[in-house]
């Protein structure tokens, strides 16, 4: 009986060892996997496009003995300015009142001296060849205050996309030059990070298509973007 019990225990131990050997994976020895070589570079790109929109602000001012008279007279002046802008092709949808105000006037000694009324309207011009004519027309109609132009593009995202594309191409060119010096081949882009950009800025450029007495030269808009790109090396 004792010998049989010892034999049974031995069989159980052998089975346990065999089971443990199957359950545990054998650790790999001498792995040949090599770390992926990479190179990281910064690229800068600049895009330039001609703006297609200009915004001006025109104002009129009226003095009168009473606030009501000043406001009424100012309204008539502004109507003439708006009518003149409409006649040179500015759509009503592109005209927007910015301010209407009435305030008391005083003499140098501080005595009441009637009232002044002021109002301004902004005009968004999508046909830039009409910009100078719009200024001339508004002033001829009675506008005594003008400001602008503020140039912009109706599709500003296009300018950003072009700048980002130029930035990536600049980064790739740098990486290719460095890879050649290292005796390696440039692989795929493994990581792309946008690292910043500058808002569109005006750049002087002569534009002779404006035939109005008041010249308006839109020039071009410039935007700069930068990226950081990590490429693999072969």
pLDDT per residue over 33-61, tens digit each?
667 889 999 999 998 888 889 999 999 99
Which residues make Cβ contacts (< 8 Å) with residue 125, sequence separation at least 6? 53, 54, 55, 56, 90, 94, 131, 134, 149
Distance from the Cα of residue 219 to its chain's centroid: 18
- Percent helix, strand and coil across the chain, each rounded to 5? 35, 40, 25
Contact (CB, 8 A) for 82 and 91: no
Nearest to 145 by CA among 231, 54, 60, 233: 60
Residue 207 is predicted with a pLDDT of 34
Which residues make Cβ contacts (< 8 Å) with residue 194, sequence separation at least 6? 164, 225, 226, 227
Residue 32 is predicted with a pLDDT of 57
Residue 157 is predicted with a pLDDT of 82
Q: For domain 38-50+155-233, which architecture applies?
A: 2-Layer Sandwich (3.30)
Judged against a pLDDT cut of 60, whether residue 110 lies above it is answered with yes
Q: What angle do CA 223, 228, 230 make, to 5 degrees?
A: 150
Domain residue limits, the chain: 38-50+155-233, 57-152
SS3 category, 182: coil
Fold assignment, 57-152:
Alpha-Beta Plaits (3.30.70)
Q: What angle do CA 83, 152, 168 make, to 5 degrees?
A: 165
CA neighbours closer than 13 Å in the CB half-sphere of residue 169 = 9
Token representation of residue 152: 């912009």
Contact (CB, 8 A) for 193 and 146: no
Tell me: cis bond preceding 149? Omega within 30 of 0 counts.
yes
SS3 category, 134: helix
pLDDT per residue over 135-185, tens digit each?
999 999 999 999 989 888 777 788 888 899 999 999 999 999 999 999 999
121: how many CB neighbours lie within 10 A of its CB?
21
Distance from the Cα of residue 36 to its chain's centroid: 36
Judged against a pLDDT cut of 70, whether residue 202 lies above it is answered with no
CA distance 54 to 146: 13
pLDDT per residue over 80-91, tens digit each?
999 999 999 999
Residue 201 is predicted with a pLDDT of 56
């Amino acid at each position: 009986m004792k010998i049989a019990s010892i034999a049974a225990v031995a069989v159980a131990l052998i089975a346990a060892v065999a089971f443990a050997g199957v359950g545990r994976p054998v650790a790999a020895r001498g792995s040949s996997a090599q770390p992926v070589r990479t190179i990281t570079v910064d690229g800068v790109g600049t895009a330039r496009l001609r703006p297609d929109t200009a915004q001006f602000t025109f104002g009129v001012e009226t003095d009168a003995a009473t606030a009501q008279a000043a406001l009424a007279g100012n309204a008539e002046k502004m109507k003439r300015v708006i009518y003149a802008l409409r006649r040179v092709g500015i759509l009503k949808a592109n005209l927007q009142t910015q301010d209407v105000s009435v305030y008391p006037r005083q003499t140098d000694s501080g005595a009441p001296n009637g009232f002044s009324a002021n109002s301004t309207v902004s005009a968004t011009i999508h046909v830039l060849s009409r910009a100078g004519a719009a200024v001339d027309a508004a002033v001829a109609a009675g506008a005594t205050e003008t400001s602008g132009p503020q140039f912009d593009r109706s599709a500003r995202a296009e300018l950003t996309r072009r700048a980002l594309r130029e930035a990536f191409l600049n980064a790739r060119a740098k990486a290719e030059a460095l890879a050649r010096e290292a005796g390696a081949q440039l692989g795929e882009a493994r990581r792309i990070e946008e690292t910043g950009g500058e808002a569109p800025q005006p750049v002087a450029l002569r534009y002779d298509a404006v035939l109005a007495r008041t010249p308006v030269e839109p020039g071009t808009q410039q935007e700069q973007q930068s990226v950081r790109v990590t490429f693999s090396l072969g």
